[in-house]
Amino acid sequence: MNKLSFWLLPIIFLGGCALVQQPLPQLTLKDHQANVDYPVGQKFQVVLPSNGTTGFKWELEDMTAGVLEKLSDEYQVTDKYTENIVGAGGEEVWTFQVIKVERSHIVMKYRKPWDKTEVANEFLVTINGNPGDDGLVTYLGKIEGNAVDAQFDDCFITEAGDKFGITPVTQDQIGDPGVKAKIAEFTNQDTLVEIRGKMTEPTIDCNGKQLIVHEIQAK
């Protein structure tokens, strides 16, 4: 082994380690009717046993909109079950994300989509959204501009209908120019945006609240 290869090996090894992603927290039937605490921004999975050959599937009966977001759902046969043949069991994996500091819930029912009356199983869990480690909270909504001479900042309207002022985080005594440009880009464009920031109150802004924006992106 030459010297170059000797020094490259640790780098390659460390680089490979950096690619390993931590698995998401999972809730199963054992967590039925449980209360779970997750920080805002946390993604988690609901993993429930299912059998795609029976016609039954899990359906999302109810979810607190604007507090939780469903990212995906898929049916899969894993090594927990037999090979993927007719009659083999599997599981449904539903991925969610906490987007607001608020108490919320998920209600799911296992039934045939064409027969809502026959419910073979049910899953209910309560999610308590908490601020993340950085103290920032995630919001989804749209930006509505005020008149140039208005005393209020532009307004942010969440999917739940809450409304408050919006302003970029201050850096070196001025508003962050990157965040400021993004706010201007999305104002009055009917674009759904995701914002991470901190709420301050009381202020003169909409409903006496002002959201200090640290990060903003189109959703």
Query: What whole-number distance in Å separates Cα of residue 129 and Cα of residue 138?
Result: 11
Query: What whole-number distance in Å separates Cα of residue 26 and Cα of residue 46?
Result: 6
Tokens 């991470």 identify what position? 196
CB 89 within 8 A of CB 77: yes
pLDDT at residue number 77? 81
Q: What is the mean pLDDT of residues 100-126?
A: 90
Give 180 or 2, the one with higher predicted confidence: 180
* Fold type of domain 23-130: Immunoglobulin-like (2.60.40)
Contacts with 116 (C-beta within 8 Å, 6 or more apart), sequence order: none
pLDDT at residue number 149? 66
Give 162 or 4, the one with higher predicted confidence: 162
Q: Does the domain spanning 137-218 belong to CATH 2.60.120?
A: no
Query: What whole-number distance in Å separates Cα of residue 137 and Cα of residue 94?
Result: 23
**Got the DSSP string for 144-156?**
EPPPTT-SSPEEE
- Two structure tokens written together for 154: 């532009």
Residue 13 pLDDT more than 60?
no
DSSP state of 206: G
Residue 97 pLDDT more than 90?
yes
Residue 193 pLDDT more than 80?
yes
Q: 202: cis peptide before it, omega within 30°?
A: yes
**The domains spanning 23-130 and 137-218 adopt the same CATH topology:** no
Count of other CB atoms within 10 angstroms of residue 167? 21
pLDDT at residue number 4? 45
The percent of residues above 70 in pLDDT, for the chain, comes to 80
Residue 29 pLDDT more than 90?
yes
The string of pLDDT tens digits covering residues 127-185 is 988 766 667 777 888 999 886 666 778 899 987 788 889 999 887 667 788 899 999 99
**Got the DSSP string for 55-123?**
S-EEEEEEE-BTTEEEEEEEEE--TTS--SSTT--EEEEEEEEE-SSSEEEEEEEEEETTEEEEEEEEE
Q: What is the mean pLDDT of residues 183-190?
A: 93
Give 38 or 103, the one with higher predicted confidence: 38
Give 7 or 64, the one with higher predicted confidence: 64
The string of pLDDT tens digits covering residues 51-96 is 888 899 999 999 987 789 999 999 988 666 554 444 557 899 999 9
CB 180 within 8 A of CB 192: no
Cα torsion angle, 68, 110, 29, 123, sign: positive
- Two structure tokens written together for 187: 């104002």
Residue 19 pLDDT more than 50?
no
Give 206 or 49, the one with higher predicted confidence: 49
Q: Where are the domains of the chain?
A: 23-130, 137-218
pLDDT at residue number 148? 66
Chain-centre distance for alpha carbon 15: 28
